[in-house]
């Protein structure tokens, strides 16, 4: 039977074979064949078996070494019997922990506290190895975080309340996603599928689909969260802090890039920098730092009717006061202003911003600090978010922690990484069948 060193060497060999085979498919820009997928599955299965065997042999070695040392007993906060060994704590019954997504801990803070108190203990580190196959576990004292706490943070980033969940967000196993898209309109007359009339027995005119390619690179986004040792001493408080703070930070950065991303240096291509964006002009003599009813109506008219029924308004909270005071101005036949009031065409409450329901023109309003302040381009956006393609790496958020990065300052580092890319599906505004104005999935208002 091979020893631990030999099994780890075999794992390294399997990891190399796995990466080489995956790289081959990526370099050739193709899907893996059935034979290749079977090989990959075999590599993973063998690595998993080796990890379990390594963990078991290492636990046996630790217990055997402990037989020669003085042992006392104590109970952890959850009531699980603990053994003290060389000043470290390890729970009895590790087989149960390997099946528990919390690894026997009540919350993330309790896990962090255990790592702080036992930075060199094999128990936690082996659990990480067996579960993650060395991912997220560094040689400098890094530890993988139990799966359940990763899922809690992931739910804050991809849940119903997140901006990302409203986009066309799909998981992928590739680093670069290339997909075909059809931007041909029903009324288009240049290229693409066409419909004709013909006389009896006349020859049919041919037409063909006109597809474009959308290529999106899935790059890493991460949150590095330092936590003081004082906070580590309060495990329940730490658990709430980490799951909330890390999720909020990642979620906001994704939202900010969906709106403002430059498309360079690994960033998403954001709505405001996309070539398909339609920017509506302000009104003549419109006062600075205002939003008026005409702005809203003109923005609404620049989105295709077929998609605007599923659109949302994305705003900076600074403009709420402007929306609450919206009204239409009645004018005489000569164009002179008469009075402000309701419209016979717009139903009562249809234009006005409803603070209770959060709607404008019947569409929901989302408030985010990623939007520009009042008066700047991007303070209000009408967005059809399913028109934004956001592929992310299958497997979701990965996580790790280390006490060694800022050891001299008494700080433990938690790291979450999430690979995601994004850009609008449209490559340009939509030309009209009749009319000179263009349409788009994303409409904003110019600087005022």
Of 49-58, 346-355, 428-437, the one with minimum mean pLDDT is: 346-355
**Among residues of the chain, what percentage have pLDDT more than 70?**
65
Q: Over the stretch 311-331, which tens digit does the pLDDT of each residue have?
A: 999 999 999 888 887 877 666
Residue 176 pLDDT: 83
Distance of alpha carbon 116 from alpha carbon 164, whole angstroms: 34
Q: Confidence class of residue 11 from pLDDT cuts 50, 70 and 90?
A: confident
In order, the DSSP letters of 141-157 are: TEEPPPHHHHHHHHHHH
Would you list the domain boundaries of the chain? 1-24+37-66, 276-389+429-445
Flag whether pLDDT at 343 surpasses 50: no
Q: Confidence class of residue 392 from pLDDT cuts 50, 70 and 90?
A: confident
Residue 62 pLDDT: 64
Distance of alpha carbon 411 from alpha carbon 347, whole angstroms: 58
Of the candidates 132, 136, 134, 173, which has an alpha carbon nearest to the alpha carbon of residue 36? 173
Q: Confidence class of residue 424 from pLDDT cuts 50, 70 and 90?
A: very high
Q: Using CA atoms in the order 421, 425, 429, 430, what is the torsion angle rounded to 10 degrees?
A: 180
Q: Confidence class of residue 95 from pLDDT cuts 50, 70 and 90?
A: very low
Distance of alpha carbon 45 from alpha carbon 56, whole angstroms: 17
Measured over the CA atoms of residue 269, residue 445, residue 426 and residue 159, the dihedral's sign is: positive
Of the candidates 312, 302, 445, which has an alpha carbon nearest to the alpha carbon of residue 387? 312
Query: Mean pLDDT across the chain, nearest whole number?
Result: 74
Q: Over the stretch 167-199, which tens digit does the pLDDT of each residue have?
A: 988 888 888 887 777 666 667 666 667 777 788
Flag whether pLDDT at 123 surpasses 60: no
Q: Over the stretch 38-90, which tens digit does the pLDDT of each residue have?
A: 888 888 888 888 887 887 777 777 666 655 443 433 333 333 333 333 333 33
Q: Which range scores top for mean pLDDT: 107-116, 171-180, 371-380, 402-411?
A: 371-380
Residue 408 pLDDT: 79
Flag whether pLDDT at 144 surpasses 60: no
Residue 104 pLDDT: 62
Residues 6+ apart with CB under 8 A from 99: none
Residue 338 pLDDT: 54
Q: Over the stretch 292-303, which tens digit does the pLDDT of each residue have?
A: 999 999 999 999
How confident is the model over 2-6, as a mean pLDDT? 79
Of 17-26, 111-120, 270-279, the one with minimum mean pLDDT is: 111-120
**How many residues can be counted in the chain?**
448
Residue 282 pLDDT: 95
What percent of the residues of the chain are helix, what percent strand, and what percent coil, each to the nearest 5? Answer: 35, 25, 40
Give pTM, 2 decimals. 0.61
Flag whether pLDDT at 385 surpasses 60: yes
**Among residues of the chain, what percentage have pLDDT more than 90?**
23
Residue 79 pLDDT: 38
CA 2 to chain centre: 42
Distance of alpha carbon 273 from alpha carbon 388, whole angstroms: 13
Please tell me which residue, 14 or 148, carries the higher pLDDT value: 14
Residue 82 pLDDT: 37
Q: Over the stretch 226-264, which tens digit does the pLDDT of each residue have?
A: 777 777 776 556 666 676 777 788 888 999 999 999 998
How confident is the model over 114-137, as a mean pLDDT? 43
Residues 6+ apart with CB under 8 A from 375: 288, 289, 290, 447, 448
Residue 390 pLDDT: 92
**Would you call 416 helix, strand, or coil by DSSP?**
strand
Distance of alpha carbon 144 from alpha carbon 399, whole angstroms: 6
Q: Which range scores top for mean pLDDT: 94-103, 209-218, 252-261, 358-367?
A: 252-261
């Amino acid at each position: 039977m091979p020893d631990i060193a030999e099994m780890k060497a075999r794992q390294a060999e399997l990891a190399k074979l796995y990466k080489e085979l995956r790289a081959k498919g990526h370099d050739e820009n193709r899907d893996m064949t059935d034979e290749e997928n079977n090989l990959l599955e075999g590599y993973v299965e063998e690595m998993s078996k080796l990890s379990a065997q390594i963990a078991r042999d290492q636990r046996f070695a630790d217990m055997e070494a402990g037989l020669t040392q003085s042992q006392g007993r104590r109970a952890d906060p959850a009531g699980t019997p603990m053994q003290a060994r060389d000043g470290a704590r390890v729970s009895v019954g590790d087989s149960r922990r390997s099946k528990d997504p919390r690894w026997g801990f009540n919350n993330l803070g309790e896990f962090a506290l255990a790592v702080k108190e036992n930075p060199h203990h094999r128990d936690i580190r082996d659990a990480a190895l067996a579960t993650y196959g060395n991912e997220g576990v560094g040689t400098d004292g890094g530890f993988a975080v139990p799966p359940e706490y990763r899922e809690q943070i992931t739910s804050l980033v991809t849940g119903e309340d997140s901006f990302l969940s409203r986009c066309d967000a799909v998981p992928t196993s590739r680093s670069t996603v290339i997909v075909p898209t059809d931007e041909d309109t029903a009324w288009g007359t240049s290229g693409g599928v066409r419909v004709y009339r013909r006389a009896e027995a006349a020859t049919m005119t041919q037409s063909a689909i006109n597809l474009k390619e959308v290529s999106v690179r899935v790059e890493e986004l991460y949150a590095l969260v330092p936590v003081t040792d004082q906070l580590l001493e309060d495990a329940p408080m730490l658990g709430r802090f980490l799951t909330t703070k890390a999720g909020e930070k990642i979620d906001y950065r994704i939202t900010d890039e969906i709106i403002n991303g430059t498309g360079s240096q690994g960033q998403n291509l954001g709505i405001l920098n996309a070539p398909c964006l339609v920017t509506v002009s302000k009104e003549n003599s419109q006062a600075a730092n205002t939003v008026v009813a005409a702005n809203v109506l003109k923005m609404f008219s620049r989105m295709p009717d077929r998609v605007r029924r599923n659109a949302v308004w994305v705003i900076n909270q600074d403009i709420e006061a402007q929306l609450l005071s919206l009204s239409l101005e009645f004018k005489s036949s000569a164009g002179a202003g008469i009075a402000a009031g309701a419209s016979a065409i717009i139903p009562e409450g249809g234009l006005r911003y409803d603070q209770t329901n959060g709607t404008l023109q019947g569409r929901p309003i989302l408030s985010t600090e990623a939007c520009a302040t009042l008066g700047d381009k991007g303070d209000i956006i009408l967005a059809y978010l399913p028109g934004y393609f956001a592929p992310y790496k299958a497997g979701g958020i990965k996580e790790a922690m280390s006490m060694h990065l800022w050891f001299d300052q008494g700080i433990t580092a938690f790291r979450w990484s999430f690979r995601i890319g994004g850009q609008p599906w449209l490559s340009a505004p939509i030309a009209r069948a009749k009319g000179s104005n263009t349409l788009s999935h994303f409409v904003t208002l110019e600087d005022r």
